[in-house]
Amino acid sequence: MPDLIALRLAAQRLLPPGTGIGTADPRADHPAFEGEAISGLPTRLSEFRAGRIAARAAIADLGLTPAAIPMAEDRSPIWPAGLCGSISHSSEVCLAAVALQSGLRGIGVDLELATPLEPDLRDTILRPEERHHSDMAAKLIFCAKEAAYKAQYGISRCLFDFHVLSVTLNAAGFTARFTEEITPFAKDTLLQGRHARVAGHFLCVVTL
């Protein structure tokens, strides 16, 4: 069984006070929720529903009434008015974080299995200045870039590849630097993030 308690506690340590946090097991049988209908393979449906279960738990953690969180055409969650949030899952665990937009402009969480990055993905994920890292550290960089991308996406609504962000790791967290302008983020804007290793996963968070 996944250690959802440990995952929740790790997320609480990384995220700012006032952030709602929810977890779920994507391998469990979660019923569909009205207003969240999608089609897909059973595994995809299970992961989607677990993500929404976790998201509604995060909303309830804020003391608010949970509601449907449908999927937009770009596949991003449509959060209830006044909220921003992020959902991430692996095949084993699912995490959601939600905050009031009056407190945060954006939030990004990402979970990745704490295993080495596949060598054939290094050129896709890593910029030249990042390629000295081991495959394990490269997987953490991948996780960090995913979290940073999610945090900014609700603001920029811009799709871009992994080379737009350059990640510098440190013991306490990481910085993700824009290597080009992504409006409204100027070139060289820094996003600050934090990371942890929990329940066999890398967990990265970025808040704006």
SS3 state of residue 13:
helix
Q: Residue 173 above 90 pLDDT?
A: yes
Tens of pLDDT, residues 4-30: 999 999 999 999 999 999 999 988 877
Confidence (pLDDT) at 116: 98
**Nearest residue to 141 via CA among 180, 103, 114, 159:** 114
pLDDT band at 206 (very low <50, low <70, confident <90, very high): very high
Tens of pLDDT, residues 52-69: 899 999 999 999 998 888
69, 84, 99, 101 from 81: Cα distances, Å: 11, 8, 11, 9
- Type of residue numbered 53: I
Intervals of CATH 3.90.470.20 along the chain: 4-105
Q: Which whole number is the average pLDDT over 157-184?
A: 96
Share of the chain above pLDDT 90, in %: 76
Q: What's the chain's average pLDDT?
A: 92
What is the rounded CA–CA span in Å between residue 151 and residue 145?
A: 10
Tens of pLDDT, residues 79-111: 999 999 999 988 899 999 999 998 899 999 999
Q: Is the peptide bond before 184 cis (omega within 30 degrees of 0)?
A: yes
Q: Is the pTM of this model over 0.85?
A: yes
Q: Which whole number is the average pLDDT over 113-129?
A: 97
CATH 3.40.50.12280 is right for the domain spanning 4-105 = no
Q: Which comes out higher in pLDDT, residue 188 or 172?
A: 188
Confidence (pLDDT) at 40: 56
pLDDT band at 185 (very low <50, low <70, confident <90, very high): very high
User: Which of 37-51, 75-89, 168-182 bottoms out in mean pLDDT, i.e. has the lowest?
Assistant: 37-51
Q: Which whole number is the average pLDDT over 181-190?
A: 98
178 with 192: CB under 8 angstroms?
no
